[in-house]
Amino acid sequence: MKILAVRDWVNLYENSETRRRKQLGWVLTPNRHDSLAYCRLMNKGEEGCMIFGVWNVLLQLSSRGTEEVRGYFVDDSGNPYSIEDMSIKTRVPETALTLSIPILIELGWLCEVTSEEFVQGVRTMSATHTDALRAKIGKNKSRKAEGESSSVSFSALAEKLQEEING
């Protein structure tokens, strides 16, 4: 079974603040308008603008899950959303989703993963990324509480940890 996901969620849509939260009420989005994918989308005129609106709603939907499933289009139990489910949850017409999703996959903004890849991604995220980051943040807070100065900011710490995770 294929599960729809936001490509490169952790690197593009998470930061040190989002990683500390179990649930989000907002989503970070890059604000560059010069990528080739964005330019190709906007070259589609009104249809491109509509697809970009769908994209932003889909980002919001995928950010609403628990920290382990952010970036995936699944419910809290890990069951994949259907087009109908996404339409009901976002109030976006099914026809707009059906038109937009293949184009967003073609642009490389969305991807499909197998259920095995999904399970592995969730395990990797929760075991290595989230727990390791929380441990490092806790150590840094302890140092500050004890009066030690720390020259490493939380964002720099998160970036360093992400580099370690990525190998």
Instruction: Give the pLDDT confidence of 25-79 residue by residue, as tens digits.
Output: 778 788 888 889 999 999 999 999 999 999 999 999 988 887 778 889 998 788 8
Residues 132/158/165/58 CA torsion (nearest 10 deg)? 100
Rounded to a whole number, what is the largest CA-CA distance in the chain?
A: 58
For the residues 90-100, what does the mean pLDDT come to? 97
Within 10 angstroms of residue 12's Cβ, the number of other Cβ atoms is 15
Domain boundaries, the chain: 2-166
The CA distance from 65 to 14, in Å, is 13
Tokens of 5: 């996901």
Average pLDDT score over the chain: 78
